Structure 1
Amino acid sequence: MNRTRALLAPLGWVLLLVPVLTAVFGPLVAGPTRSVGDSLSPPGPGHPLGTDELGRDVLALVLRGGTSIVSMAGAALLLSYLVGVPLALLVAGGRRRWADRLVLRLLDFLLALPGLLVLLVLAATGWRGTTTLVLATAALQLPAVVRIARAAALAPETSTAMEAMTMQGESRARIRLGYLGRSVLGPVVVDAASRLNLVLYLMASANFLGLGLASSATDWAVLIELNRDALFIQPWAVTVPALMLVSLCTGVNLVVDRRLSERGTVRR
């Protein structure tokens, strides 16, 4: 078991850093993404990964295509936690139980809405583009984020400590945003790692359906959709961007699991 963990630790970092570094530094070294040859050409001189449906160099597209999907997914995920966690801390276990119930009922309504249906409705009414996609994705994650943080904040040991701090005269803001914030950090980090998969899936699906970025965009998800019919003709145009997305999700989960495991071992 220890040997397996020792192997998974560097593997997780490799899987995480490859797509992240590609997204950050790839555009600096990528070649032109305009049409430079015949469509769906196999790998060859000048095109190590061949060309895509539009005759563009696949390697250049992969190097440039991570910036948009990584930045949009990161922004949506960060926004959902920046709003959801403070909201959960403020309403969880407070004296105003009606506020807690009201927030949960409103979020339950949002939770019942299918994510892709919401994006389809927005697109049909003219709300398209990256900003709309980021805000809509963040809003769709908000109910689950609030429930995760609220459940962690209502743990028995947390409630006991809060009562003691209240009797000592600590301010409400210090108790809820300070002590409770640290208490829910572990569950929130674990949830964020797994939720990244959902966010990437939703954004990739939106791009597949043409609800996000334009079909000519150099985005990994768009590249998969654009070239999926040519999977057996020019597989590199589909498999390489798909592997980048899989690597990102797997790497995040492995790294977070490893860090939390080490943290728990140190505490014990």
Structure 2
Amino acid sequence: MKPTVLAALVVLAVIGVVDWPTEAVDFADRLAPPSSAHPLGTDQLGRDVLARVLGGVRYSLGLGLLALAVAVAVGTASGLASGWWPRHPLARGTQALVDVLVALPALLVGLVVAAVLGSGLTAALFAIVATGWAPFARQAHRLTVAVRGEDWVLAATALGAGPARVLGHHVLPAVASPLLASVAARFAGTVLTLAGLSFLGLGVQPPTPEWGAMLAEGRTYVFVAPWLVVAPAAALVASTVALGWIAQTRRTCCATR
């Protein structure tokens, strides 16, 4: 990974842990345009938009990373199990479910799950995990099937290693690199899904400074104070483009090894 990318990730991590004054209200300074005091202006309650955009890193990227981590864990575990025992009825059922979920748009499935569970952070995270685990399960299944017949796997089995040890100590390290190569690309999709759910009122709720929720709040004032929409939209676009570039860099590095 290039030093500039690593530096950018460190900066984002620092931004995410700082306690920004996102809820400081000043009714005397409502809908103020960008100025030296407020570089990105203020919102309808007089809150500093820059502080809220920076505070949104913790929610838009932090919660997205949390949901992605759970999705990766669930998908990898189910893919390893179904790839090791491909003829088991449960494995076949899992792969059939994966085929259905992969064929459907993630946001559509997320909308259905969030609508059933209700709005809120927990429902949004569950919806993202419910849609995000399937691609990792399919990839882990395919990779496990490909390596389960390799000599080193057969040797470990012949020496008496149980399935859990073979999968954890031999198969998982072999399939981890291709799985990690797709995490950054999925991360961008996860951030967009979370923002979409929040924008539609099914995800993170105001006044939490999540970028999708900020877009939903700011659209009412788009002609009066366009910075309320431009600022979170720019942060969302910049982060997803950067994550896509990181994913492409990761794929290139894996391909050249």
- Given the two structures, how large is their TM-score scaled by the length of structure 1? 0.81
Q: Does 1:146 align with 2:146?
A: no
Following superposition, the deviation at residue 209 of structure 1 comes to 0.5
CA 1:97 to 1:121, structure 2 compared with 1: closer, same or farther past 3 Å? closer
Greater relative contact order, per chain length (Cα 8 Å cut-off, separation 6+):
1
Matches within 5 A, 1:54-93: 54-93=45-84
Partner residue in 2 for 1:4: none
Letter matched to residue 217 of structure 1: T
How many matched pairs?
Answer: 256
Q: Does 1:188 align with 2:179?
A: yes
Letter matched to residue 192 of structure 1: V
Percent identity between the aligned chains? Answer: 31
Structure 2: where are the runs of 5+ without partners? none
Partner secondary structure for residue 202 of structure 2:
coil
Following superposition, the deviation at residue 143 of structure 1 comes to 1.6
Q: Distance in 2 between matches of 1:221 and 1:200?
A: 9
Following superposition, the deviation at residue 158 of structure 1 comes to 5.2
Structure 1: where are the runs of 5+ without partners? 1-7
Contact 1:22–1:66 under 8 Å retained in 2: yes
Following superposition, the deviation at residue 44 of structure 1 comes to 2.1
Q: Distance in 2 between matches of 1:122 and 1:146?
A: 19
CA 1:242 to 1:10, structure 2 compared with 1: closer, same or farther past 3 Å? farther
Contact 1:23–1:67 under 8 Å retained in 2: yes
Deviates further, 188-197 or 32-41: 32-41
Computed over aligned residues only, the root mean square deviation of the Cα atoms, in angstroms, reads 2.9
Partner residue in 1 for 2:211: 220
Partner residue in 1 for 2:31: 40
Contact 2:214–2:228 under 8 Å retained in 1: yes
Q: Distance in 2 between matches of 1:13 and 1:234?
A: 35
Deviates further, 192-201 or 251-260: 251-260
Partner residue in 2 for 1:23: 16
Partner residue in 1 for 2:200: 209
Following superposition, the deviation at residue 120 of structure 1 comes to 3.8
Contact 1:130–1:213 under 8 Å retained in 2: yes
Following superposition, the deviation at residue 65 of structure 1 comes to 2.0
Partner residue in 2 for 1:160: 150
Partner secondary structure for residue 159 of structure 1:
coil
Following superposition, the deviation at residue 31 of structure 1 comes to 6.1
Deviates further, 13-22 or 98-107: 13-22
Letter matched to residue 38 of structure 2: H
Following superposition, the deviation at residue 188 of structure 1 comes to 1.0
Contact 1:19–1:248 under 8 Å retained in 2: no
Partner secondary structure for residue 62 of structure 1:
helix
Contact 1:137–1:203 under 8 Å retained in 2: yes
- Given the two structures, how large is their TM-score scaled by the length of structure 2? 0.84
